[in-house]
Amino acid sequence: MKENIDRNNLPKHIAIIMDGNGRWAKKQGAMRIFGHRNAIQAVRDAIEGAGEIGIQHLTLFSFSTENWSRPQDEIQALMQLLVETIVSEMPRVMKNNVRLNTIGDIKSLPTSTYEKLVEAVHQTSTNTGLTVHFALSYSGQWELTEAAKRIAQKVSEGKLSPEEITNATVADHLDTAGIPDPELMIRTSGEFRISNFLLWQLAYTELYFSDVLWPDFRKEHLFAAIEDYQKRERRFGKTGEQVKP
């Protein structure tokens, strides 16, 4: 599998909607949180797999703005799991030279979760391998609205004129400023939707949908998605003839 991947045509950035934990648990008659606990191995596999082949950025949709509407006990268990996992995974993260980052409204997370995250980001800030961006309390519409506010603020302070605003201005005010847009987006669990993930950044991303439920996701599934991506012709509005090498 890994051998079939063309190292000269790797995406720089892969984004994943890690979906299907609840259904995975239900299939075995367990509580939803059992699915979330078993999702950790899949996260490890995705990070290790991406690191092994030299991907630079991996964005993992971990908790959406809309997920705040879930039952309180599930939210609490998820936040607790997040704290525990950051602590227990840190040695592995450091060993693998992985840099951690977050996107989203992380100040809205419980204080203990927020503090652990900030600490983890700081602790890994000089690592030089794969950067993993955890999207937490994140949605594309939230991010775009926040960007609009920041741009409007600059205009009202006279630091920016409306005529100067370009696509690049918007991109520079997103949480993902400076990160290349994902070339490949994977969603697991057989759902065909974006669910308010990176709305701006996915403009020209290749989408890959897998039936695998997230807790069952392993390196081989990641490599299969990359292989599929490498067979595609990315045209960016041009004709096939124009983009042929």
Residues lying near ligand IPE in the complex (CB under 6 A): 17-23, 61-64, 66-67, 78, 189, 191, 193, 195, 214
183 in contact with Mg ion (CB under 5 A): no
Query: Closest separation between CB of residue 110 and Mg ion, Å?
Result: 21
At CA 65, angle to CA 139 and CA 177, rounded to 5? 30
> Which residue, 11 or 104, is less far from ligand IPE as judged by CB?
104
Query: Closest separation between CB of residue 154 and ligand IPE, Å?
Result: 31
Q: Which residue is nearest to ligand IPE (CB)?
A: 22
Token pair belonging to 93: 């993260």
Q: Is 37 left (phi over 0), alpha (psi -120 to 50) or beta?
A: alpha
196 catalytically annotated: no
Sequence-ordered strand ranges (E) for 25-153: 57-64, 99-103, 131-138
In the β-sheet with 131-138, what is the strand arrangement from edge to edge? 99-103, 131-138, 57-64, 13-17, 184-187, 206-209
Contacts with Mg ion in 207-226 (CB under 5 A)?
Answer: none
CB-based burial label for 157 (10 Å; 0-12, 13-18, 19+): exposed
Q: Which of 11, 16, 18, 19 binds Mg ion (CB under 5 A)?
A: 19
Strand partners, 59: 15, 133
> Which residue, 18 or 109, is less far from Mg ion as judged by CB?
18
Residue 61 contact, options Mg ion, ligand IPE, none, Cβ 5-8 Å cut-off depending on partner type: ligand IPE
Which residues are identified as catalytic? Answer: 19, 67
